[in-house]
């Protein structure tokens, strides 16, 4: 059995991959692609626990959050003034005050009806056979 003590030879900052030199002078090439989601750029509160979203790829539309309303921390949305204070947080999430935020990636998939595999087709080829 070979034991590789790989050390980095080239920088991977370019996003194209990296080349590693193993202890037995075998070159191993690792290729990767940085996967990114569209960035949320605008959000507005609508009636009946819905929000309107716009992303930097041009995708926009309404998402119904009524399935969350009235449950746990989301009881705060019962106050219409609080719900209408929605904003895009500095870290990109959809945020109400400092206590409630929702992941913009999951909202994007909810808006478009896509799964993670639809957004990132390379995920389909990854097998989780452990």
Q: Which domains does the chain have, with CATH numbers?
A: 1-35 (no CATH), 40-115 (3.30.2020.10)
Task: Provide the 10 A C-beta neighbour count for residue 82.
Answer: 14
How far apart (Å, rounded) are the C-alpha atoms in residues 56 and 43?
12
How far apart (Å, rounded) are the C-alpha atoms in residues 13 and 124?
25
Q: Provide the pLDDT for residue 117.
A: 85
Q: Provide the pLDDT for residue 1.
A: 36
pLDDT at residue 71 greater than cutoff 90: yes
What is the per-residue DSSP string for 45-83?
EETTTEEEEEETTS-EEEEE-TTTTTSGGGGGGGSHHHH
CA distances for 74 relative to 62, 65, 95, angstroms:
18, 10, 12
Q: What is the arithmetic mean of pLDDT over 17-27? A: 52
Task: Return mean pLDDT, the chain.
Answer: 79
Q: Provide the pLDDT for residue 121.
A: 78
pLDDT at residue 124 greater than cutoff 90: no
pLDDT at residue 32 greater than cutoff 70: no
Q: Provide the pLDDT for residue 4.
A: 37
């Amino acid at each position: 059995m070979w034991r590789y003590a790989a050390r980095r030879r080239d920088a991977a900052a370019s996003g194209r991959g990296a080349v590693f030199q193993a202890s037995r002078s075998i070159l191993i090439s690792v290729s990767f692609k940085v996967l990114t989601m569209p960035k949320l750029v605008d959000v507005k509160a609508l009636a009946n626990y819905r929000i309107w979203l716009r992303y930097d790829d041009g995708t926009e539309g309404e998402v119904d959050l009524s399935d969350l309303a009235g449950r746990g921390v989301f009881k705060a949305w019962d106050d219409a003034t609080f719900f209408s204070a929605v904003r895009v947080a500095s870290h990109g999430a959809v945020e109400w005050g400092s206590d409630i935020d929702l992941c913009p990636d999951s909202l994007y998939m909810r808006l478009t009806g896509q799964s993670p595999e639809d957004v990132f087709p390379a995920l389909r080829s990854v097998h989780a056979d452990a």
